[in-house]
A and B are shown apart, each in its own frame.
Chain A
């Protein structure tokens, strides 16, 4: 098309005031409604979980429900979430403990040591870990990792304890392969990408001058990182760790497939247990009694509250320590 005819076209088609005023009103209203939909979904989710849980929470009381350690859906119809709360706390904190230092090490290596091409490869591979569906990790855990851990780690340790340190046996628990230890190891693997990528972002945001200044004072490479980079990036690293904890708390399928699903205390290191998401997965489809369904919803509501707190804490931390005022992570 010729330029002139295009220009004429545009001028001839100049929008009327009605077209732009009404169009803008409609457009912004639609955008606002779509935005409101997300707000409604979030609030609705919280409300629905609370509403469905109310039967159980009225029966046992919120505190009583959280601290009750009997979960019996068949005979007494007594429901307390303490075993699952404990299972979730133990597995997710241990997973963070295992994953934190290696994950930060990967971030330091990728950001400070590796050449550009290698850093790219590491970043993509770490993101790939996050991309693997949790059921795929679950099936690998069931048929490869758990049997291997049982035969080459748990059994030898257990047999050693049987001979030398008998008092350890109840703490170690039954080494069947499906239990807290296996679930924790898999969880640790699954949260590494979140810790790593946030730590890497935090390290990259440290100004160059910071590094150059300590270099000029004669610091070695590691001393630069330890004394100039890490203190500066600690807020972001910490926020990433807390966000990873949130991921571990909410992780469902891989844990449900590997933790062995035992609803009663006491727990042991190798022995089976359950977490809040895993008990929902295992029992919701088969629950018949209203109070049982409602108790599972109450566990869901508790899980919602916990993940809300964890996420808000991470957001608050990254805003508090961020130079940009928390606009972008």
Chain B
């Protein structure tokens, strides 16, 4: 009997060791990836990286100054367009789901939203290609923005719904009791109360979309130069960080490979920063 107990306890210890080992094995690659990106990325960063255009490959090979200033600006434009498009629609749909829970539309909306969330981003790029690029006849920043908006939409709708649902009904009842119409209750009491969670949800959606390259390859396409007119950012092909990183990485030039690492550290830093801001914001909310 005690022999049996001993065996069970030993097995218990072995399992514990295996669990710790699995955790280490899973987390180790993360640290290795970040280590390599930081090491290779920092050594490739320079002042020119933020002030010069990329130009043709010969520019990098001959050692003339090149950089990704057009890519950084382009990323901000395309991501900004996506936010402007996705936030009102996503938040509106979230309001629909949480504030009108009995509406006939909602079961369908919930299914469609989850479906949209599960569709691979590359297909959203194909959709934006047919929707925008084909009729316009040219790749464009706005097409990239639309494609990324498709990525953000379902995430924002979902997070908005759960953010608003977390506000107790008594707050709504208090608003209705002093004679506010329902729409004022939502806009002036429920949404301000949920504002931290709303911003967090948008940030998470933003971070997810900002790292996507697949939908941008056939919408905003890429560009080695800054457009001549600023409108070219919206109505012409635009460079974005994830898509440029892909092109640099699969190019045959070693100078471009190290620029790819530099792009990787910028992109990774950008995305991780967004996530940290979102995390810190929610933590504050729980403490107050």
- Interface of A with B (CB < 8 Å)? 10, 14-15, 19-21, 23-24, 26-28, 30-39, 41-45, 48-49, 52, 101-103, 105-106, 108-110, 113, 122, 124-129, 131-140, 142-144, 189, 192, 196, 220-223, 246, 249-253, 257, 277, 280-281, 284-285, 297, 300, 303-304, 307-308, 310-311, 315, 328
> In chain B, residues 52-82, which have Cβ atoms closer than 8 Å to a Cβ of chain A?
none
Residues of A within 8 A of B113 (CB): 38, 42
The docked-state distance in angstroms from the alpha carbon of A167 to that of B202 is 55
Are the C-beta atoms of B96 and A133 separated by less than 8 Å?
no
Q: Using an 8 Å CB-CB cutoff, how does the interface string of B153-164 with A read, 1 for contact, 0 for none?
A: 110010000100
Are the C-beta atoms of A315 and B120 separated by less than 8 Å?
no
Residues of B within 8 A of A277 (CB): 120, 122, 214
Residues of B within 8 A of A41 (CB): 116, 127, 150, 153
Residue of A nearest to B88 (CB): A34
Residues of A within 8 A of B96 (CB): 31-32, 34-35
Question: How many whole Å from B266's CB to the nearest CB in chain A?
Answer: 10
- Interface of B with A (CB < 8 Å)? 8-9, 11-12, 15-16, 18-20, 22-23, 25-27, 29-30, 32-33, 36-37, 40, 88-93, 95-97, 99-100, 103, 105-106, 108-109, 112-116, 118-124, 126-127, 130-131, 150, 153-154, 157, 162, 178-184, 186, 207, 210-214, 217-218, 221, 242, 245-246, 249-250, 257, 260-261, 264, 267-268, 271-272, 275, 279
Residue of A nearest to B279 (CB): A124
Are the C-beta atoms of A35 and B105 separated by less than 8 Å?
yes
* 9 residue pairs bridging A and B, Cβ less than 8 Å apart: A49-B126, A102-B22, A106-B19, A128-B30, A129-B26, A133-B242, A222-B12, A285-B221, A311-B118
Are the C-beta atoms of A135 and B245 separated by less than 8 Å?
yes
Interface of B, secondary structure class, is helix
Are the C-beta atoms of B120 and A106 separated by less than 8 Å?
no
Given A38-B109, A133-B211, the answer on whether A113 and B19 have CB atoms closer than 8 Å is yes
Given A31-B100, A105-B19, the answer on whether A280 and B122 have CB atoms closer than 8 Å is yes
The docked-state distance in angstroms from the alpha carbon of A144 to that of B22 is 22
Are the C-beta atoms of B9 and A220 separated by less than 8 Å?
yes
Are the C-beta atoms of B249 and A138 separated by less than 8 Å?
yes
Are the C-beta atoms of B89 and A131 separated by less than 8 Å?
no
The docked-state distance in angstroms from the alpha carbon of A182 to that of B213 is 20
The docked-state distance in angstroms from the alpha carbon of A249 to that of B118 is 11
Are the C-beta atoms of B130 and A48 separated by less than 8 Å?
yes
Residue of A nearest to B178 (CB): A10
Residues of B within 8 A of A48 (CB): 126-127, 130-131
Among B22, B218, B246, the residue within 8 A (CB) of A109 is: B22
Given A48-B131, A136-B37, A257-B250, the answer on whether A131 and B275 have CB atoms closer than 8 Å is yes
Among A10, A102, A113, A249, the residue within 8 A (CB) of B16 is: A113
Residues of A within 8 A of B179 (CB): 14-15
Given A35-B109, A49-B123, the answer on whether A139 and B260 have CB atoms closer than 8 Å is yes
The docked-state distance in angstroms from the alpha carbon of A42 to that of B264 is 31
Give the top 5 A-B pairs by smallest Cβ distance, nearest first.
Answer: A34-B92, A133-B211, A250-B120, A20-B181, A27-B183
Residues of B within 8 A of A132 (CB): 30, 33, 211, 268, 271
Residues of B within 8 A of A34 (CB): 88-89, 91-93, 95-96
The docked-state distance in angstroms from the alpha carbon of A15 to that of B183 is 12
Given A37-B93, A281-B214, the answer on whether A144 and B36 have CB atoms closer than 8 Å is yes
